[in-house]
Amino acid sequence: MWTALKDLRSATVTRRMRSLFEENPTRARDFSVSLGDMHFDYSKTQLDDSIRSALIDLCERSNVAQRRDAMFSGGEINQTEGRAVLHTALRDPDGEELLVDGADIRPGIRQTLDRMKAFSQALRSGELVGAGGRITDVINIGIGGSDLGPAMAVLALSPYHDGPRCHFVSNVDGAHISDTLKGLDPQRTLVIVASKSFTTIETMTNAFTARDWMRAGGGDPKRQFAALSTAMDKTDDFGIPQDQVFGFEDWVGGRYSIWGPIGLSLMIAIGPDGFDQFLAGGRAMDEHFRAAPWGQNMPVMLALVGIWHNQVCGHGTRAVLPYDQRLIRLSAYFQQLEMESNGKQVRVDGSALDVSSGPVVWGEPGTNGQHAFFQLIHQGTRVIPCEFLVAARGHEPELQAHHKLLVANCFAQSEALMLGRSLDQARARMQAKGLTGEELERQARHRVFPGNRPSTTLIYPMLTPDILGRIIALYEHRVFVEGVILGINSFDQWGVELGKELAVSLHPVLDGCDSVTDKDGSTEALVRYFRTFNT
C-alpha cells in the first residue's frame, strides 16, 4: 500500500508546488474542502490528482468507513481496554437510541447535560452561593484530558464569558495551585475536581490542598466542591455530595471528554446556550464526517494530508499555527489529542508498525511565532508542514486594523513558504539596494529561501462556540482516520504508565525511607543531590 505512495513521492521531490497552480488555474478550489462557511485549503502542498487518488485508495483499503461506523454505533473499538468510543454521543444528546451493553445511553447523557445546565445556571445567577455569598471564581482541578480541553476552550471563547472567572490548576508543582489561590476568596470560590479515574495523583494532591485552603479560610467544601468523574464511589469518599457530582462512562476517553461533564467549567463561563452551540458545532462535523465522500470530507482530507507528510514524505513534526491569540492553548490540546492517541509502536494485533507513528505536534499562535521559530521553518534543513488556522473576523470591531494585519501575516507565511526566494532573486534585491561584487555574493546565500514548503489553511468567519466545536471535532476525526490507516488503537495510552509507576516507587526514596542503591547511577546521583537540600 505504501509503495505506490512512496513512488509518487519520489516523482515529486523536485517539483515546484507553484507549477501546480500554473497547470491548474482552479487548483485552490479543487484542493480544498468546505463545511458550511468553514474552509480547508490544502492546495499549497504537493498533492495532485494521482496522489490524492492513491491516498483515498489507502483510506478505502484501511476500512476507515467500517471503523468510523463501528465507532459511532458503539462498537468496542478500543480493544486493549475493552471499551466503546462514544464521545460523539455526548454532543448528540437527542440522537436516536444507542445501545451499550444492551442499554440506551441517550437518556443518561440528556439527564447529565440537564443537571450540568441547572447547576451552572444556579451558579451564574447567584442562586447557588458559597459560605461568603455569590461565587465569583471557579477552579477546575484536573490534568491531561481533564484540564487541556476546558482550559483551551475557556480561553478561546473569552468574548462569550458572562459567568464567574474560571481558573485551571493541573500541575502537581505546588507553584500552580499556590499562584492560583492567591487573591481568591475561599468563601466565594467553587472548586471542580475533574478526574475520570479520581485517582490521578496530581489532581488528588491539588484537590486536598484546595480543600484545606477552603476550610482554613472559612469556606464550605460541602457546598463549594463539585466533581466530574466516572468513579462515584471515590467522589463519595472525598465527601462531595452526589448532587454536585456529574458522572460519565468509560466510553468517553479523557482527551475526548470536553463534550460532557469535563466541559462544566466552559458551560459555567459561556452559559448553557453557548455550550449547546459548541456541541452543535461538533455534531455538524460528525454529520459531515459520516456523510461526505472522502475527497470532500474535511477530517479525511486533513488526515490524508497528514499521512502524506509524515508517513510518506518523512516529515516527522507538524506545526499548528493559529493566527488567533485566544487559541494559545490549542497546540497543547492537540499535543495530547494527537500524540497520546497515535504515538504507538504496535498495531491493534500487536505487530510492529512498519511506518512512523503519529507526528510530533507543536506550535504557538501567530504572529508571535514569526519572531521566534519561523526562521527554522523557512530556512532550516528540515521540512515542517504547517497548519494555519485563522478567522476572517475578530471580536474587536474597533481594532479592525489589527485583524487585517494578523490575516495579512497569516496569508503571507503560507505564500512565503511555498514560493521561497531563489539565489537570483536574492541577488537582484540586494543589487537594487546598491550591493555589488564579493559583498553581494557573500550575503546573497543567507537570503535564499528554499520554498516549496507545504502548509494548509483552515479559515472560518469568526471563532464562535459553534466554530470551536467544529475545529475540535475536525481534529478528533483526523486523528481517528490517521490511527485507522496506521492500524493502531488511538484510544488507549499505555505509554504514560511506566513513568507514573516509577514516580510512585521514587517518592519514598526521596524521603530516605527506601534505599537508593538499586537505582541506576544517574538516578541515584540525582536523588542524593535532592536529599542534600532536603534533610
DSSP, collapsed to helix, strand or coil, labels residue 79 as helix
137 strand-pairing partners: 165, 189
Strand partners, 322: 389
The answer for residues whose C-beta is within 8 angstroms of residue 185's C-beta and 6 or more apart is: 132, 136, 137, 217
Largest Cα span, the chain: 81
Question: In this complex, which beta carbon is closest to ligand G6P, that of residue 195 or of residue 370?
Answer: 195
* Residues 315 and 359: beta-carbon distance below 8 Å: yes
Closer to ligand G6P by CB, 63 or 197: give it. 197
The answer to whether residue 500 is catalytic is yes
Q: Are 354 and 412 in contact (CB under 8 A)?
A: no
Report, in Å, the least distance between residue 197 CB and ligand G6P.
3
Q: In DSSP terms, which residues pair with 194 in a beta bridge?
A: 228
**Distance of CA 518 to CAs 89, 231, 507, Å?**
48, 36, 14
Between 232 and 448, name the residue whose CB sits nearer to ligand G6P.
232
Instruction: Return residues touching ligand G6P (CB under 6 A).
Output: 143-146, 195-197, 200, 203, 254-255, 340, 493, 496
Contact by Cβ (8 Å): 186, 216: yes
Contact 123, 190 (CB under 8 A): yes
* Residue 43 vs 195, nearer CB to ligand G6P: 195
The least distance separating ligand G6P from the CB of residue 339, rounded to whole angstroms, comes to 11
Contact between 357 and 342 (Cβ < 8 Å): yes
Task: Select 189 or 493, whichever has its Cβ closest to ligand G6P.
Answer: 493
144 vs 322, which CB is nearer to ligand G6P? 144
CA count, 13 A, side-chain hemisphere, 529: 6
CB of 81 to ligand G6P, least distance (A): 12
Instruction: Indicate if 439 belongs to the active site.
Output: no
Other beta carbons less than 10 A from residue 74's beta carbon: 18
Catalytic choice (22, 97, 371, 501): 371
**Identified catalytic residue from 222, 402, 404, 500:** 500
Cβ pair 486, 304 in contact under 8 A: no
User: Which residue stretches of 83-130 are H helix?
Assistant: 87-90, 106-125
Identity of the residue, 203 or 277, whose beta carbon is nearer to ligand G6P in the bound complex:
203
336 or 370: whose CB is closer to ligand G6P? 336
CB of 142 to ligand G6P, least distance (A): 6
CA distances 266 to 121, 153, 160, 166, 307, Å, are 12, 7, 10, 8, 32
> What Å distances lie between residue 368 and 321, 322, 384, 386, CA to CA?
10, 10, 17, 15
Cα three-residue angle 31-35-38, rounded to 5 degrees: 85
CB of 169 to ligand G6P, least distance (A): 13
Minimum Å distance from CB 166 to ligand G6P?
18
117 is catalytic: no
Report the nearest approach of ligand G6P to the CB of residue 187 (Å).
Answer: 27
Catalytic pick among 202, 249, 338, 340? 340
Q: Tell me the closest approach of the beta carbon of residue 222 to ligand G6P, in angstroms.
A: 22
Catalytically active residues are: 340, 371, 500
